Each structure stands twice: as structure tokens, then as C-alpha cells.
Amino acid sequence: MTYRGEVLTGATAVGIRVGEGVVLAAEKRVTYGGYVVSRVGKKVFLIKDRFGLACAGLFADVQTISRLMSVEIHWYELETSRPMSVKTAAKLLSTILYQYKYMPFLSEIIFGGVDLEGPHIFVMDPLGSLIEDDYAAVGTGAPIAIGVIESEYSKDMSLETAEKLAVKSIKAAISRDAVSGDGVDVVVIGRDRSYEKFYQVIS
């Protein structure tokens, strides 16, 4: 749960890393102070077909972070004429978040992608703490989602199976978390291709 004054916002986002790539997913409901503001909020973002963000927290901050990273990665690659690695991009985001530590972005972030070293996902808090892991969940529905992932996850599973597991975990959170809901957005980043997809949740 994220707080700004007396305002509460929530969400559920997950990330899974397997040998073939990474899957990032989040539900679409946008809440503010206990009210549903929108049912079509986008909290998962694909950047340059190689990186992705899945976020939970204040919606304006989530959008700002995605725009900042898109610009910074594009600028770096223009200046250096070489692709940015996932770890470098994650460290860049971590530094940006820490620079705003006195007035932080109120969000939890899962950042992932695929580079020459392989797939990676990193988890970050609002101050930029950086942890690499095989899978993660953030937001108000995270305790439910992570339980589903932990029970079925395997490093050897296919990217398609990981996508289904990510969606299953978000759907489980939606069924029990009042501030999560209204469908699941997914970003899948593989070694050879990446794509975005939407799953309808029938309540």
C-alpha cells in the first residue's frame, strides 16, 4: 500500500525470469483514496523492445518513471552507439530514484530485460534499492501473487508457461485485493522477439 498524505493507492505487478526471457505483468485498476478512478490504467511498459517496467504505486509517478527511462536509455544509446545492458539500465533507474529521495516517486518497480548476458529482472523500492532475482511481486496484492508464483516456478519453464504463470498470479491477487482488478497487461521480452498483450479478467 502506498501513502501520499491521507491518499492510498494500490496495485499488483509481477516479474518472472526464465532461460528464454522475462515476463512482466500488472493489473489495470487505478485507485485513489479508496475510489476507483480508472479501469484502463497501464502499469507495464515496453522500452525499445529489450527492456520493461512493471510498477505499483501512484499512477502519475509510474507514468513519469516510464517516460524518464525511455528518454535516458535512448539518449545513452545515441551517445555511445552501443546498446545499454539491463544491469546498466537498472542501475541508472536506481540512481534516478535515489536522487529524488527527499520527495520520492511513490512506486515499487520491477525492471527487466534481455541483453547479451541473458535475461534479468531487478526489484526496486521508491529510494532505488536494487535487488536482482528470478521472480518478484510488488504492490498491495504482492503477498497473494508471490505465493502463486513460488508454488509453480521453475527456471527451466518456457517463456509461454512463465507468461501463463504471471497472469495466473495477478488474477489470484485481483480476486482478493479490492484495489487490483480490471484485466492484466503483460510484456514478454525474449531473445528474439518481444510483445505486449492484454488478458481480460471475468469477475
pLDDT in tens, 167-180: 999 999 988 877 77
Residue range 107-128: mean pLDDT, rounded: 95
Contact status, residue 179 vs residue 140, Cβ threshold 8 Å:
yes
Q: Exposure string (b/e) for 30-43, b if CB count within 10 Å is 16 or more?
A: bbbeeeeeeeebbb
DSSP conformational letter for 101: T
Q: With 0-12 CB in 10 A as exposed, 13-18 as middle and 19+ as buried, what is 116?
A: exposed
DSSP conformational letter for 48: T
Per-residue model confidence (pLDDT) at position 7:
41
* Confidence (pTM): 0.91
From the list 12, 31, 95, 140, the catalytic residue is: 12
The mean of the pLDDT values for the chain is: 91
Determine the topology of domain 2-199 in CATH: Glutamine Phosphoribosylpyrophosphate, subunit 1, domain 1 (3.60.20)
- Write out pLDDT tens, residues 40-87: 889 999 999 999 999 998 888 999 999 999 999 999 999 999 999 999
Contact status, residue 169 vs residue 4, Cβ threshold 8 Å:
no
Contact status, residue 165 vs residue 144, Cβ threshold 8 Å:
no
**Is residue 80 annotated as a catalytic residue, yes or no?**
no
**CA-wise closest residue to 189 among 1, 23, 6:** 23
**Sign of the C-alpha dihedral computed for residues 110, 116, 119 and 122 taken in this order:** negative
Per-residue model confidence (pLDDT) at position 3:
42
Every domain of the chain and the residues it spans? 2-199
How many C-beta atoms surround the C-beta of residue 5 within 10 A? 6
Pairing of strands 44-47, 51-57: antiparallel
Residue range 15-25: mean pLDDT, rounded: 97
